[in-house]
Amino acid sequence: MSKKKILVVDDEEKFCKMLKANLEKEGPYEVQIETKGAQALAVAKVFQPDLIVMDILMPDLGGCEAAFQIKNDEKLKNVPIIFLTALAKKKDQELFGGIVDGRPFIAKPVIAKPVKTKDLIKFIEENLNKPVDAAPSA
Amino acid sequence: MNKSNHPEKKLSTFKFYFPVVILAILGISLSVFGYYSLSKHEQERARVGFERLANKLSADLQKSIELNLETIQSLRDFYVSSQTVERSEFHSFAEGIFSRRVGVRTLEWVPRVKDSELENFETLAHREASPAFRIQEIGGQEKNVPLGRRSEHYPIYYVEPFEKFKFRLGDDLASDVSRREMLEKARDSGEISTTQPIRLLSETGGEIGFLVCAPVYVNDKPHNTLEDRRQNLQGFVVGSWRIDEFIKSSLNVLLLDGIDFYLYDGPNVSDEFLFYHFEAINSPVSNSPEKHQTEIRSPFKWITSFQVAERPWTVLYRPKPEYLAERSTRQPWAVLMTGFIMTMFFIFYLLLILRRGVLIEKIVTRRTSELSESNVMLQNQILERHQAEEALRVSDGRHREVASNIPGAVYQFVLRPDGSMAFPYMSESISKITGIASEEIRLDGSKPFTRILPEDLPLVNQSILESAKTMTTWLREFRIKTMSGEIKWLRATSSPNALPDGSILWNGVILDVTDLKFAELHLKELNEELRQKEQKLLKALEDLRKTHQELKETQAQLIQAEKMDSIGRLAAGVAHEVKNPLAIIMQCIDYVLLSAEIKDENVRSVLNDMSEAIERADSVIVELLDFASLSEAKKTSENLNSILEESLLLVKHELDRHHIKVVKNFSDALPAVRINKNRVQQVFVNILLNAFQATPEGSELKVTTFSKRLQQVGGRVGRRKSDIFRPGSRVIVVEIQDTGSGVSEELLDKIFEPFFTTRRGKGGTGLGLSVVKSIMEMHQGSVEITNNAEGPGATVILTFNVQETEENYNEQEKNISGG
């Protein structure tokens, strides 16, 4: 069985590294990390992940906006995205996630940091096996 | 006194009878005049009738005369046409005439016998007529008078009717003057001639009558001149008539009833020539001049003349009194009598009236004298009264002046037992107020009431009756419509007095209070306006207070919100910045746990402790965030029992861990409440967790729910703005009772303050109960904590307000009555 490709986008580089190590150790995953939201789409296009774990509050480009770009890509639109954020409030998530066409774009599910690796893997597995949401309309 | 009245009495007698006399004269005159004119009229009518009759009779008579003369004429014509007329021929001709009944008495043929031929004639006569025939003097037969010596003789040779008058044969008509004159006149003129009235000869004596003769001349001999006629005369045809028979045959004597008929031989009415007098029907013929004279005095007569063979006859008709009496009616007399009777009656009536007048006059005189006596007394009294009146007038003038000049009207009003009303007195100033003259009001007591406005009238009437009943002063204000159409306010007041006849008299005054009333009304309006303004002001003040209160609350809320917002923003930032490192640490711990083979159990334990510490730190952050974002909750209608059940499920792990037994005492009839489920769940979980921490292991936790209606004011129940609960509103109470150590009295007030905790350093953030309090306040509810009265531990009492919509209420009632 081939490893599932997981793209982790988070501006905390240390967290990304630790998460990559834990995920690859714990599950049969191939994890790529990206610390810039603006690069997420480009990396995803190349990497072709099976699932994307996306931070929301990032300095250059908000996770929501980045997720929106990915969902609008013809090849990537079926890739499930999990938001993993330190923002506990939905209001904050909307506020900091970036505005797409005048409204915030929050793709579910959202998992709050800090999270135990076990819990996250459980969550990833659930979403991998889940049929993918249709692409959001613009 | 009587003496002095004497001439007066005469005068009065004259006065008394004067109209009677005048009436008598007038009545009699009128009666007589009526009688006279009616009589006159009747007489005139009788005269016309009489004249018409007389005329007709005259015409008849004339016609009869002509007819008789014609017989003589026809006999002469018979002689003229024949050469000789035999005795038998004469007889036959005469028979024919007599049969016509024209009234002829005798018809004779008288030949002319010259004295020289006398003997020859007699000789022939002896042969032809009778041997006894001889010419003789008229009437001379018996007396033996010898025949006189005359040149010519006119003996009667034929006579008819012969038997009756044969003794007349031979009578020489020339022996009588009247007859000879007639014959000679006829001979000379050749015309018919008559005698004057003569006594006719007959066997029985003489009757008055007349003769008519016509000359017959010898045929073929001329008789145009007098000489010829004397020479050639043959004889005469003579007829005689009795005048009475002639008249009776000529006239219808029946028509002469009551009329005297006189016939005169001559052109004039003269007693000398009276020929025939017919007095009345069946009256004997008379020509007595005396009688004629007496009866000549008739009111009218009819006279007419006509010719009988050139001899004038005159006829006179004279009506007798009987004739007139027959044609007069009794009407004039009736008129006269009626007139007299009426006059008498009127005189009688007049006398009666006059007598009555005299009687009355007497009474009047007596009364007058009585009056004059009392007049003297009265004069004295009047004098006294004048003085009193003068005094009264002065006083009255003063009163009138007062009544007229006071600003209103003074009046007296009477209500009689029969309900009728009157104003015996009303001062003149009423006209200034109402426009009705005081005189009119005095005449018609109901008049002022007609001017009162219909809506005020019943009250006025009622108050008058009430015043009459209670005999208390009447005072009333009412509106009237004056004659000019103006509306005025009047104030009337009066005091009632009972009169002996049961009437009630009010003396009072009426004032025009229109201006006052309008001022009053204006004042009232102003007052009302003022009151309204004051109310508005009070309301505005109240509003202001409320607004101020609200503002204060809002300000507090705003300050709180601001505080919360600051905390929220701070918390969000802090949370992000803390959570990220925590996430890294968490990953690191996992990494360590996953990567190395940990032989030392202590290391694993340390790592697990670290992991727990991270989770606690995270929960603190979450609670802090929750606290900061309380106002964002959405409310739904929920059942508190089920939320409690869910909350107990959430803390089941902890319950089991502490071996705590939960005793549930839930009411089945809890109404639904509008709440934020998550927040309330958070409240329950917080309190339950708090309770577990206070409760020793193995003990009981009692959870009770019930619904009740708040009754008494007190505590947090009241009507003030700051009071959460209102008396009578329905609430749900949730009690969570533990058996722990309870709360010390000094801490009871502080326990709900933020960041207050008894477990600092043991995982207590000091926000748990503070959040609970905030959430309950957000739901208009309350949270209290009390130490148990019996036994150890404390009880947390949560009270929820039930918003009673109608639907909700009905449901509640049903649930409550059902449970």
ipTM (interface pTM): 0.84
Give me the phi and psi of B666, to 5 degrees please: -95, 135
Instruction: Return the percent helix, strand and coil in chain B, to nearest 5.
Output: 55, 20, 25
Q: Which of B352, B143, B292, B307 is nearest to B212 (CA)?
A: B307
Could you tell me if B613 lies within 8 Å of chain A, comparing CB atoms? no
Q: How far apart are alpha carbons B637 and B669 in whole angstroms?
A: 15
Residue B3 clears pLDDT 60, i.e. is over it: no
Residue B478 clears pLDDT 50, i.e. is over it: yes
Q: What is the mean pLDDT of residues B187-197?
A: 87
Could you tell me if B587 lies within 8 Å of chain A, comparing CB atoms? yes
Among A92, A113, A118, beta carbon nearest to B583: A113
Per-residue pLDDT reduced to its tens digit, B287-306: 444 444 444 556 778 888 88
Q: Can the peptide bond before residue B131 be classed as cis, meaning omega within 30 degrees of 0?
A: no
- Distances in Å between the Cα of B813 and the Cα atoms of A57, B4, B725, B786, B810 are 52, 128, 20, 30, 5
Q: Which of B183, B179, B187 is nearest to B231 (CA)?
A: B187
- Split at pLDDT 50, 70, 90, the class of A106 is low
Could you tell me if A119 lies within 8 Å of chain B, comparing CB atoms? no
Among B580, B594, B614, beta carbon nearest to A22: B594
Among A57, A91, A114, beta carbon nearest to B614: A114
Q: What is the mean pLDDT of residues B648-676?
A: 85
Interacting residues of B118 by C-beta distance below 8 A, sequence separation 6+: B135, B153
Could you tell me if A108 lies within 8 Å of chain B, comparing CB atoms? no
Q: How far apart are alpha carbons B446 and B463 in whole angstroms?
A: 16
Which is higher by pLDDT, A91 or B319? B319
Instruction: Judge: A114–B582 Cβ closer than 8 Å, yes or no.
Output: yes
Q: For chain B, give the percent of residues with pLDDT over 90.
A: 8
Amino acid at B585: I
Per-residue pLDDT reduced to its tens digit, B681-734: 888 888 888 888 777 888 888 899 998 888 766 666 776 666 777 777 888 999
Exposed e or buried b for every residue in B69-79, given b needs 16+ CB within 10 A? bebbbebbebb
B positions 534-573 inside 8 Å of A (CB): 572
The pLDDT value given to residue B358: 87
- Find where tokens 């009053």 sit: B520
Per-residue pLDDT reduced to its tens digit, B779-817: 888 888 888 887 788 888 999 888 765 455 555 455 444
Domains located in chain B, CATH noted: 61-319 (3.30.450.350), 406-508 (3.30.450.20), 513-632 (no CATH), 633-818 (3.30.565.10)
Residue B643 clears pLDDT 50, i.e. is over it: yes
Which is higher by pLDDT, B744 or A70? A70
Q: Which of B361, B384, B482, B394 is nearest to B432 (CA)?
A: B482
Q: How far apart are alpha carbons B557 and B535 in whole angstroms?
A: 31
Residue A92: list chain B partners with CB under 8 A: 572, 576
- Cβ atoms < 10 Å from Cβ of B54: 24
> pTM score > 0.80 for this model?
no
The pLDDT value given to residue B486: 86
Q: What is the mean pLDDT of residues B4-17?
A: 69
Which is higher by pLDDT, B598 or B454? B454
The pLDDT value given to residue B559: 77
The pLDDT value given to residue B4: 47
Q: Please give, rounded to a whole number of angstroms, the shortest distance from the CA of A18 to a CA of chain B.
A: 6
- Best probe of the B interface among A89, A91, A93, by most B CBs < 10 A, is A89
Among A113, A117, A118, beta carbon nearest to B580: A113
Q: Which two tokens mark B567?
A: 């905390």
- Find where tokens 């001559």 sit: B266
Lowest mean pLDDT among A21-25, B23-27, B285-289, B712-716: B285-289
Could you tell me if A18 lies within 8 Å of chain B, comparing CB atoms? yes
Instruction: Judge: B584–A12 Cβ closer than 8 Å, yes or no.
Output: yes
Residue B595: list chain A partners with CB under 8 A: 21, 25
Per-residue pLDDT reduced to its tens digit, B228-245: 888 888 899 999 888 888
Domains located in chain A, CATH noted: 4-129 (3.40.50.2300)
Instruction: Judge: A15–B584 Cβ closer than 8 Å, yes or no.
Output: yes
Amino acid at B700: E
Q: How far apart are alpha carbons B193 and B197 in whole angstroms?
A: 13
Could you tell me if A113 lies within 8 Å of chain B, comparing CB atoms? yes
Could you tell me if B608 lies within 8 Å of chain A, comparing CB atoms? no
A38 DSSP 8-state letter: G
Nearest CA in chain A to B613: A114
Instruction: Judge: A88–B579 Cβ closer than 8 Å, yes or no.
Output: yes
Instruction: Judge: A92–B580 Cβ closer than 8 Å, yes or no.
Output: no
Q: Which of B112, B128, B97 is nearest to B173 (CA)?
A: B112
Could you tell me if B621 lies within 8 Å of chain A, comparing CB atoms? yes
Residue B485 clears pLDDT 60, i.e. is over it: yes
Residue B286 clears pLDDT 60, i.e. is over it: no
Among A25, A57, A114, beta carbon nearest to B583: A114
* Mean of the per-residue pLDDT values of chain B: 82
Q: Which two tokens mark B148?
A: 């006189």
Q: What is the mean pLDDT of residues B125-147?
A: 76
Q: Can the peptide bond before residue A109 be classed as cis, meaning omega within 30 degrees of 0?
A: yes
Lowest mean pLDDT among B129-143, B160-174, B225-239: B129-143
Q: Helix crossing, A63-71 with A40-47: angle to 10°?
A: 40
Q: What is the mean pLDDT of residues B132-143?
A: 74
Q: How far apart are alpha carbons B551 and B227 in whole angstroms?
A: 193
The pLDDT value given to residue B29: 92
Q: Please give, rounded to a whole number of angstroms, the shortest distance from the CA of A135 to a CA of chain B.
A: 29
Could you tell me if A86 lies within 8 Å of chain B, comparing CB atoms? yes
Nearest CA in chain A to B588: A18
Residue positions counted in chain B: 819
Residue A100 clears pLDDT 50, i.e. is over it: yes
Q: Are B76 and B186 in contact (CB under 8 A)?
A: no
Could you tell me if B596 lies within 8 Å of chain A, comparing CB atoms? no
Per-residue pLDDT reduced to its tens digit, B418-474: 888 888 888 888 888 888 888 888 888 888 888 899 998 998 989 998 998 899 999
Angle at B102 between CA B99 and CA B108, to 5 degrees: 80
Which is higher by pLDDT, A73 or B296? A73
Amino acid at A15: F
Instruction: Judge: B579–A15 Cβ closer than 8 Å, yes or no.
Output: no
- Distances in Å between the Cα of B645 and the Cα atoms of B522, B705, B732, B737, B798 are 72, 12, 16, 16, 16
Q: Is the dihedral of CA B97, B99, B101, B104 positive or negative?
A: positive
Residue B577: list chain A partners with CB under 8 A: 86
Instruction: Judge: A116–B621 Cβ closer than 8 Å, yes or no.
Output: no
Instruction: Judge: B611–A115 Cβ closer than 8 Å, yes or no.
Output: no
Q: What is the mean pLDDT of residues B306-320?
A: 83
Q: How far apart are alpha carbons B711 and B715 in whole angstroms?
A: 12
Residue A87: list chain B partners with CB under 8 A: 572, 575-576
The pLDDT value given to residue B352: 92
